[in-house]
Structure 1
Amino acid sequence: MIRHIFSDMDGTLLSSNGHVSNHNVNTIKDSQIPFTLVSARAPMEMAETIDKLSLKDPQIAFNGGLIFKKTANELQVLRDDPLALEDIKSIIQQVKTNFPSVSCSCYDVDHWYSDKNDAGIKYEAALTEQKIQIIDYDTLFSHDKNFYKIMLITFDNDEMEQLNTFLLNLQNPNISIKRSGKEYLEITSKKAQKSKGIRYIQALEDLLRNEMAAFGDGHNDLPMLTSVGTPIVMDNALAEIKQHGKFITKTNDADGVAYGIKNYLKK
């Protein structure tokens, strides 16, 4: 008996247009199994899906850097692991100096910031329908805020590989560097892991490993997929991700989450 389902969003629950289908919504609701989104996204980018699914359970943002509940009037933080301010300042400065064409932005719990509205920002805004706040980074970091994610976007595969290598060579023990789609590189606290968020909910609800299932498609989903008894991987995932799935479901554009619930979890 599956008592809780965890699901990645982009490339998994959401179709390529960035929205959850009515078929996925209806199937998840009909299953009556508690459902948690586990995403690299910020809470504000998860809000539409949370509302469509009428989710009341804890949700996991920033690859596990923030566990929260969304109510009608507020966002209740249950646990968080923000980036150290000195780390985020240093990384953004080094990226801007060494990779000036890479789109660079960052997030606190409620807002998305950049110092310019470039092609990467416009691409992300079209996908998530969020509005960027343009602000000088020196001004931004002078405020007393917690920041949870740096998002780097490039459409050049060679530049992405160089950027990834550059960041890994910094050997910063406080950060986690994850690819999320071929255009995205996301930096969170080393303490931020999707598996950590799952363990929090597992303890909260007294769940056994074999009572949990998860859907995912990317490298940043592996800690989640390996934390549950029934890992289900999307057909649009890379081969190295598929080998971690107990089942392979349909693609995200073919409502693979709904198919997996009906065929692998409810039978």
Structure 2
Amino acid sequence: MDGTLLNSEGSVSDVNVSAIKNSKIPFTLVSARAPMEMSAAIDKLNLTDPQIGFNGGLIYKKTNSGFKVLDDKPLNMTSFRKLIKVIQNKFPDVSCSCYGLNAWYTERIDEGINYESKLTGQKATLIDFADLVDTKLYKIMMITFDLNLMEQLNQMLLNLKITNVSIKRSGDNYLEITSDLAQKSKGIKYIQDSENLIKKEMAAFGDGHNDLPMLTNVGVPIVMANAPLEIQQYGEYITKSNDDNGVAYGIESFLEK
């Protein structure tokens, strides 16, 4: 969603909405975001098909009564506690929060939390992470605007070599941790199997490193113009940027031609 369907202001343009609705193509959002952060886009696009959150850690449908879980891969809580301890002890200046199905948790409101709240329109719940022992969690999110600190954090966590987690940058300022079973490719496979599709019948739009498992598992990978060059090489097509209605352009130019 971010950097792809959403523009820099964090919204879906009317041009993208119109193109998606008029295409009549079944459309699934695949995002590192939580369901509550995807909800507005789902409603705006009138999506009724399964959606994929937490980089594939959660497959769900949005219903009138909430989010119906179809498949999920939550974090291992022993690994969660180990990671949180390292992050808080070694990197106290990094903004750290985590997500359950219906809530966003943090121990303090800081610059990173305020930044994310403004971007997504969500409000974080203040809580002691130790109290989440019986809560199913899907993602740890860290934010820092110090790129050197981000690199140090990333390397430190990778050096822990925790085998049941996936640690990925989702932007210059974001580092996110999910279960190692949470992969966008697994979400794509779920859709493929449930709809009896073959690879060449599937297309995907992406712009970041965490999109590569998705882009390499569809027949028509479309990469945004705002994506790094190392990501663009994975696209069969390069569409316009997210601020220039690249999803709409891609649908009309490459999928409906």
TM-score, normalization by structure 1: 0.96
Task: Count matched residues.
Answer: 257
Runs of at least 5 residues in structure 2 that lack an aligned partner in the other structure: none
SS in 2 for 1:36: coil
Q: Which runs of 4+ in 1 moved over 4 A?
A: none
Residues 71-130 of structure 1: CA deviation (Å, up to 9, x unaligned): 122211000000011111110111000000000000000000000000000000000000
SS in 1 for 2:182: coil
> Partner letter of residue 125 of structure 1?
S
SS in 2 for 1:105: strand
Quote the offset at 1:150 in angstroms.
0.1
Find the aligned partners of 2:236 and 2:128 in 1 and give their Cα distance: 47
Residues 174-219 of structure 1: CA deviation (Å, up to 9, x unaligned): 0001111100000000000000000011000000100000000000
> Partner letter of residue 63 of structure 1?
N
SS in 2 for 1:245: coil
Partner of residue 130, structure 2: 138
Partner of residue 142, structure 2: 152
RMSD of aligned alpha carbons: 0.5
Select which of 212, 237, 254 maps to 1:264: 254
Runs of at least 5 residues in structure 1 that lack an aligned partner in the other structure: 1-8
SS in 2 for 1:50: helix
Residues 36-93 of structure 1: CA deviation (Å, up to 9, x unaligned): 0000000000000000000000000000000000012221100000001111111011
Select which of 208, 218, 223 maps to 2:213: 223
SS in 1 for 2:3: coil
Find the aligned partners of 1:37 and 1:93 in 2 and give their Cα distance: 33
Find the aligned partners of 1:140 and 1:189 in 2 and give their Cα distance: 17
Partner of residue 233, structure 2: 243
Select which of 109, 113, 123 maps to 2:105: 113
SS in 2 for 1:48: helix
Matched, 1:177 2:161: no
Find the aligned partners of 1:166 and 1:74 in 2 and give their Cα distance: 37
Percent identity reads: 62
TM-score, normalization by structure 2: 0.99
> Partner letter of residue 192 of structure 1?
A
Matched, 1:70 2:62: yes
Residues 139-184 of structure 1: CA deviation (Å, up to 9, x unaligned): 233xx22100000001001001100100110000000011111000
Mapping of residues 12-161 of structure 1, within 5 Å: 12-141=4-133, 144-161=134-151
